[in-house]
């Protein structure tokens, strides 16, 4: 039996110690450990990588401080519009959804698309109708409401700004069309990657997008190859960052391609993509990745990333800041 591993993230960006209370820090670390343990328990019992990644993301979606599922931010219309995707490295089957509302766990809907439809990507009301047909659990608007997220939205809802999942807002002059707030920015996506005891890999990603987003904006999280990718030949990847730049870079697939075509290690491929290629075009953020041997990498090019990794060789850690 080979090494099995799970890695998770809860978003990346300007996450600094001086802006975090000890209580809030422990809350985040505890939630990361719960998600890590949920995925690892499946791997430990001989379960599949795709089930492990899915289980970890469900826990992250249910935790209100992460921008996914229950913790999703408010759109321009004052509602939560959620995106998610999942991919199985065995046969490269995949499922994705975008712009769904009131579905408790969008990652479960993405999984249903992968397993029980002839499609890869469903959006909006059609995706919701499919969720109902598959018997998935729905929640009222109140379930997704938090004062913290509401206050973020209220601060900019009458402007043309869209806010990354920021922890605090600072006004800097007049709002410009489609301006993205750059102060205390945090890219609030959650994700998991796993390698099981048979060497199969999988990835899953979920997000609530940007505060005050409009025009049905979709980021990289539900896009196979941009925010999520898995292939047993190489690795599984889940990204978190400024989605537009990750889409343009086809970031998740690029890690795979460097490994596959250049025969590079997971570490070298991640380094080239996150620390060089993304930086060159101003792509802030990071990713988590695991290869078919159970090796994990969690690189990011910004001050912090909520992250964790656990493997059968005894490794078990959850981290937030860059200097850890």
304-311 and 228-230 strand pairing: unpaired
* Alpha-carbon distance values, 19 to 66, 113, 318 (Å): 16, 39, 19
* Active-site choice (5, 169, 189, 234): 189
> Contact 232/49 with Cβ under 8 angstroms?
no
Whole-number Cα distances in Å, 177 to 161, 162, 212, 248: 7, 9, 13, 21
Within 10 A of 222 (CB to CB), how many other CB atoms are there? 32
Q: How many CB atoms lie within 10 A of CB 66?
A: 29
Q: Which residues contact 118 (CB under 8 A, 6 or more apart)?
A: none
**Catalytic residue status for 234:** no
Q: CA 317, 198, 308: angle at the middle one, nearest 5?
A: 15
**What are the start-end ranges of the H helices in the chain?**
22-44, 49-62, 106-116, 124-133, 147-156, 243-249, 251-262, 266-270, 278-280
- Give the dihedral sign, CA 39/242/253/320: negative
DSSP assignment of 52-97 equals HHHHHHHHHHHSTTSSSGGGPPP-TTSS--EEEEEEETTTTEEEEE
Among 166, 228, 118, residue whose Cα is nearest residue 16: 166
Structure tokens at 17: 């110690």
| Residues that are catalytic | 189
């Amino acid at each position: 039996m080979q090494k099995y591993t799970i890695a998770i993230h809860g978003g990346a960006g300007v996450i600094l110690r001086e802006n975090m209370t000890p209580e809030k820090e422990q809350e985040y670390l505890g939630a990361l450990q719960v998600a890590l343990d949920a995925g690892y328990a499946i791997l430990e019992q001989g379960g599949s990588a795709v089930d492990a990644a899915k289980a970890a993301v469900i826990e992250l979606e249910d935790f209100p401080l992460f921008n996914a599922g229950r913790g999703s931010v408010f759109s321009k219309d004052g509602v939560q519009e959620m995106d998610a995707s999942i991919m199985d490295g065995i046969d490269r089957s995949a499922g994705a959804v975008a712009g769904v509302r009131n579905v408790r766990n969008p990652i479960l809907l993405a999984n249903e698309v992968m397993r029980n439809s002839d499609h890869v990507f469903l959006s909006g009301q059609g995706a919701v109708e499919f969720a109902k047909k598959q018997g998935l659990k729905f929640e009222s608007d109140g379930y997704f409401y938090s004062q913290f997220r509401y206050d973020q939205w209220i601060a900019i809802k009458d402007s043309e700004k869209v806010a990354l999942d920021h922890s605090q807002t600072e006004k800097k002059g007049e709002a410009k069309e489609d301006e993205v707030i750059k102060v205390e920015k945090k890219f609030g996506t959650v994700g998991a990657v796993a390698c099981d005891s048979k060497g199969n890999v999988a990835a899953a990603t979920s997000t609530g997008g940007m505060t005050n987003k409009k025009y049905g904006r979709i980021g990289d999280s539900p896009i196979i190859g941009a925010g999520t990718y898995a292939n047993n030949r190489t690795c599984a990847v889940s990204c978190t960052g400024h989605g537009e730049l990750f889409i343009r870079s086809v970031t998740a697939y690029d890690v795979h391609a460097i490994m596959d075509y250049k025969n590079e290690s997971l570490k070298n491929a991640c380094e080239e993509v996150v620390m060089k290629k993304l930086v060159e075009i101003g792509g802030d953020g990071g990713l988590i990745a695991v290869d078919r041997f159970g090796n994990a990498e969690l690189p990011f090019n910004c001050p912090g990333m909520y992250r964790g990794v656990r493997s059968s060789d005894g490794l078990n850690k959850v981290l937030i800041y860059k200097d850890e």
